[in-house]
């Protein structure tokens, strides 16, 4: 099983700033992703709450069935030491994903405290970044 975690405001994909995030809802994309990767068991979690995200990371880290986590921490990317610490506290590999290229946006969005604890970072590939992250995690899993 692979887990996708989305942070704050990503529940508004499809309507939130479509010029940056596109017009597709995450539910629609997730359905397409599951069809594209039928061999992969994908679980999904979204929360606007930092504590809930930390709880889900810890639960996934304790679950031997969880082979990897794809996480878009959204705004928490830039300042959540607590989420970074939660990533560091688990052995399950985490790939950080950003729909937009955070390095081409406002200055305050260009630094990620969570990336420092993640196995890899994918940014600026739109929603396709999630599939890239899952494929990477599958490859890492095969190497172990």
> Which of 41, 123, 39, 13 has the alpha carbon at shortest distance from 77?
123
Query: Which candidate in 21, 29, 76, 130 is catalytic?
Result: 21
At 112 the three-state DSSP class reads coil
Task: Give yes or no: 111 in active site.
Answer: no
Query: Which candidate in 2, 76, 98, 130 is catalytic?
Result: 98
CA angle 61, 87, 66 (to 5 degrees): 25
Task: Give yes or no: 21 in active site.
Answer: yes
Judge whether 57 and 86 are in contact, CB under 8 Å. yes
Phi and psi angles of residue 20, each rounded to the nearest 5 degrees, phi first:
-105, -45
Give catalytic residues, as residue numbers: 21, 98
């Amino acid at each position: 099983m692979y887990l996708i975690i989305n942070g704050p405001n990503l529940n508004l994909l499809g309507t939130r700033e479509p010029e940056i995030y596109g017009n597709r809802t995450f539910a629609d994309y997730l359905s397409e992703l599951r069809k594209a990767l039928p061999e992969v068991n994908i679980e999904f979690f979204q929360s606007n709450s930092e504590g809930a995200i930390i709880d889900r990371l810890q639960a996934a880290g304790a679950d031997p069935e969880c082979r990897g986590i794809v996480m878009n921490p959204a705004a928490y990317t830039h300042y959540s030491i607590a989420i970074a610490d939660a990533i560091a506290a688990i052995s399950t590999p985490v790939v950080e994903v950003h729909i937009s290229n955070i390095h081409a946006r406002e200055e305050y969005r260009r630094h990620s405290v969570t990336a420092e604890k993640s196995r890899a970072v994918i940014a600026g590939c739109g929603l396709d970044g999630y599939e890239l992250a899952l494929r990477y995690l599958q490859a890492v899993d095969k190497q172990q």
